[in-house]
Amino acid sequence: MAAARPALFLDRDGVINVDRNYIYRVADFDWIDGAQDVIRRFNAMGWWVFIVTNQSGIARGLYTEEQMQTLHDWMTAELDKSGARIDRIYHCPFHEDGTIARYRKDSFDRKPKPGMLIRAMTDFPVIKERSLMIGDKQADMEAAKAAGVRGFLFSGGDLASFTDWALADMGEGR
C-alpha cells in the first residue's frame, strides 16, 4: 500500500474548467487558467489529487454517465499529455429533483455532504489534516469542513496563483 500523504480535492466545474452549466462535451470544455499546472505541481509534491464533482445533469436527464465518462477520459488524457495526473475522479449523479428515476434521490455523496471526500480518504491513505479542497461554491466548503479538510473558495482567475496563496495560508509553502 502507498504511504499516507496529503490530498488536493478539486471541484470540477468552475475550478478545473469554466462553468457553463452542465458541461459534458469536449467541445464545451475550457480549462481554467493554471488548472493543469496546479495538478502537475501537486503531483510533483507527492500529494494525491482527486476531483469531487456533483453531476446533477445526469439525474436531470441532460446527459448520461457514459457521456460524462467520455469527457473525464478526455480530461485525463489531456492531463497525461501535460505530465499531470488525477488519482481518481469521484462524481455524484444523484439529485432529489432528478427526472431520471434511478438517480432521483438524496445522496451522502452530493456536496455539501462529504461522501465523495470520505470515500477518497477511505480508498487512499490520506493525511487529512494537511489536505485541502478547492471549490467555487459554498457547498464545496461545507463538504470539506464536514470531511475534516481545509476548504478554499475559488472565485475565478488563475488557479495556480490561488493555490500558492492557499498553500501559504496552510503553512505548506511551495
Active site residues: 11, 13
Question: Which pairs from 92-98 meet CB under 8 Å and 24+ separation?
Answer: 92/53, 92/54, 92/55, 92/56, 92/116, 93/55, 93/56, 93/58, 93/59, 93/65, 93/68, 94/56, 94/59, 95/56, 95/59, 95/60, 97/59, 97/60, 98/56, 98/58, 98/59, 98/60, 98/61
Rounded Cα distance, 2 and 46, in Å: 11
